[in-house]
Structure 1
Amino acid sequence: MKKLLTTLMICLALLPIHAQAESVPDESDDSAIYEMQTQSGEIITTRAGRMYIGDEYISADNQLYRVIAVDDQMCIAIAEHLGEEPAAGISAFAHAETQAQEGKSKHIAMYSTHSDESYEPTDGASSLEEDAGIYDVGHALKDALEEHGISVEYSEATHLPHDAGAYRRSRRTAEELLKSSPDVLIDIHRDGIPDPDSYETEVHGEEISKVRLLVGRSNPNADANREFAKRLKAAADEKYPGLIKDIFIGKGNYNQELFPQSILLEFGTHTIDKDLAIAATKPMADVINTVVFGGSAKAESTASIEESTSGFKGIGWLIAIAVIGSVLFALISTGKWRLVAEKFSRSASEITGGTIGKKPKDKS
């Protein structure tokens, strides 16, 4: 009897530990490559990192899947098809238009949790503790956003090592960045799946990398984060078809509970050329500017120039009318108006052969 009670006590003691491990996933565990499959065995997608029951996936064609079973030994997740994901709400787009019309300042904050992530073909290794390739991608995105008149604060703080504590360390960076009240908080990554073909693509005739959007579902802002990701994908699908690879909604929070417009962007994977990831930053910046701020600074500048030109034309006409009015007033007030009128009449008559104006007297 004592033996049975002891066994039960040990089991009860272990339950909370098991529950905690299940509720707090290792968000940096991307060493294993998991494959998401349909119930019939068809491959849906792959991901560097563990998949959990309840994870969701929005494919390139906006089909929604939810994981219902996971085999951790085989690294396979079975997902059910839930149909098409509802379109992004338009209220957020209306907010962006309002913000653009009100002329509010535009500010974005960025950082990279996995400070070692790099691109093997270009950087020589997939992980570098110094001069990691992910920062080149981050700076390219920063430059592209600034071309749209957006102020960008990109923290180069490192959060090494690339382990289970990386997001805890990067949380401090994110909190510091939020003190500047940004409109968007971006965590810049690259994927770790081995197949480069899953990310290499061509958009509008240019070879670039696809971008995966990652949302954490275990946080109070999960719905807002998800909606923001859907808005980005919707805008990208319209302007740059093929740019957004998909949206993965995984267990964890990725520090996204700190801000409703937080997003994790994965620019390609470690086996692609870094230049492809950098090439994707320009269209991605345009998409972010469109969704968050309702348009580009270049378009606004062009409109301003046109308005200024119209204004100058209007002012020119007003000045011309004022000058003519002043001359006429001066002529009338000095009594010279009649002389000018007679001279104009004679000139008109000479030009038209007497049809218009006063005929000149015949001196003969």
Structure 2
Amino acid sequence: MADIKSSYIGMDADTLLSYCYNATYPKCVKKDELDAENLLGKDLSLDMDTGGYKVLIYHTHGSEAFADSRPGEVDDTVIGLGNRLAEILTDTYGIPVYHDTTAYDMMTGVLDRNASYDYSREGVSQILKDNPEIEVIIDLHRDGVPDDTHLVTDVDGKPTAQIMLLNGMCRDEEGNDVDYWSNDNKVDNMAFALQTYLAGRANYGDMMRKIYISTSRYNMDLMPHAMLAEIGAQTNTVEEEYNAIEPFAAMLAKVLLK
């Protein structure tokens, strides 16, 4: 796969923010966190000598579905996408994956996305305790967009859902730190997202939307190499969603394998 990291290493913080990020509240990310040389110089490769699972895929909003999803069909939700991603990472790239298929937004039997991050935090924390060899966690979602927005591009002649990665900065809209959202792994989270984003841009162009900068935390403090990925949106078809998974796996492997 092509690599364009070197052309970004010398960028100043403002240019990097403009080129690679979508920040509704730009004050919540600090210039020293947008140090391109630091973010792109971090070695994110997995230690494949320890055995056990290396990547955990889970779904805080496991019930998220798509434009033509069949009601009650798990394969037509983000959990189905997680199954496919786990399969490719394991079979094609030799990366052992633990896929947590819990729908954390349905823990009470009805849809509840307000408490879902609390539920997923508890579940993921237990999985990490039981599987200390895990080095990467990926919370796989799809975005929610206006009904007239269609996040699709062409990859190898196939209609393919676009991908957006997200960084939670644990600050309010004015850039003030929020204590109950503390995250000592924030810069490492940013490095993982940026390196994956650039691997995607280098090889799949506009399949990658700019990295979204949010005020929140999204449980990304649980692991230095934590990612929240939005694969398409509710207006994409199931086919478009699945077409995005093989390229997504390839860009992850580009970053995670030596």
1:131 and 1:282 map into 2 onto residues whose CA distance is: 16
1:136 and 1:63 map into 2 onto residues whose CA distance is: 28
Write out aligned runs for 1:221-300 (5 A).
Answer: 221-294=185-258
2:222 and 2:155 map into 1 onto residues whose CA distance is: 33
Identity over the aligned pairs, expressed in percent?
Answer: 25
Per-residue deviation at 1:237? 1.3
Deviations for 1:293-316, whole angstroms, at most 9, x for unmatched residues?
13xxxxxxxxxxxxxxxxxxxxxx
- Counterpart among 113, 120, 124 of residue 67 in structure 2: 120
1:119 is aligned with what amino acid?
F
2:168 and 2:20 map into 1 onto residues whose CA distance is: 18
2:103 and 2:21 map into 1 onto residues whose CA distance is: 36
Q: CA RMSD in A?
A: 2.9
> What is the aligned partner in structure 1 of residue 126 from structure 2?
176
1:112 is aligned with what amino acid?
H
Per-residue deviation at 1:63? 5.4
> What is the aligned partner in structure 1 of residue 84 from structure 2?
140
Secondary structure, aligned partner of 1:190: strand
Q: Specify the structure having the higher radius of gyration (Cα).
A: 1
2:96 and 2:252 map into 1 onto residues whose CA distance is: 13
1:111 is aligned with what amino acid?
Y
1:235 and 1:190 map into 2 onto residues whose CA distance is: 20
Contact 1:58–1:248 (CA under 8 A) maintained in structure 2 = no
CA change 1:121–1:64 in 2 (3 A) is closer
1:152 and 1:129 map into 2 onto residues whose CA distance is: 23
Contact 1:141–1:278 (CA under 8 A) maintained in structure 2 = no
* Structure 2 stretches lacking a partner, 5+ long: 1-15, 171-182
- Counterpart among 76, 97, 111 of residue 58 in structure 2: 111
Secondary structure, aligned partner of 2:117: helix
Secondary structure, aligned partner of 2:201: helix
Per-residue deviation at 1:223? 1.5
1:168 is aligned with what amino acid?
D
Contact 2:167–2:189 (CA under 8 A) maintained in structure 1 = yes
2:94 is aligned with what amino acid?
G
1:154 and 1:293 map into 2 onto residues whose CA distance is: 19
* Structure 1 stretches lacking a partner, 5+ long: 1-56, 70-78, 295-364
CA change 1:104–1:235 in 2 (3 A) is farther
> What is the aligned partner in structure 2 of residue 62 from structure 1?
20
Contact 1:199–1:210 (CA under 8 A) maintained in structure 2 = yes
1:211 is aligned with what amino acid?
I
Deviations for 1:238-288, whole angstroms, at most 9, x for unmatched residues?
122222112112122111111110001111101110111111111111111
1:108 and 1:63 map into 2 onto residues whose CA distance is: 25
Per-residue deviation at 1:130? 6.5
The answer to which structure, 1 or 2, has the higher relative contact order (CA under 8 A, 6+ apart) is 2
Length, aligned pairs only: 217
1:104 and 1:285 map into 2 onto residues whose CA distance is: 22
1:172 and 1:201 map into 2 onto residues whose CA distance is: 36
CA change 1:117–1:63 in 2 (3 A) is closer
Write out aligned runs for 1:3-18 (5 A).
Answer: none
Contact 2:23–2:214 (CA under 8 A) maintained in structure 1 = no
Contact 1:196–1:272 (CA under 8 A) maintained in structure 2 = no
Contact 2:142–2:229 (CA under 8 A) maintained in structure 1 = yes
Secondary structure, aligned partner of 1:121: coil
> What is the aligned partner in structure 2 of residue 155 from structure 1?
100
Deviations for 1:121-151, whole angstroms, at most 9, x for unmatched residues?
2335xxx696661111111111111121111
2:218 and 2:73 map into 1 onto residues whose CA distance is: 21
Contact 2:23–2:213 (CA under 8 A) maintained in structure 1 = no
> So what's the TM-score if we normalise by structure 1?
0.54
Per-residue deviation at 1:87? 3.6
> What is the aligned partner in structure 2 of residue 209 from structure 1?
161
Secondary structure, aligned partner of 1:122: coil
> So what's the TM-score if we normalise by structure 2?
0.74
Per-residue deviation at 1:216? 1.4
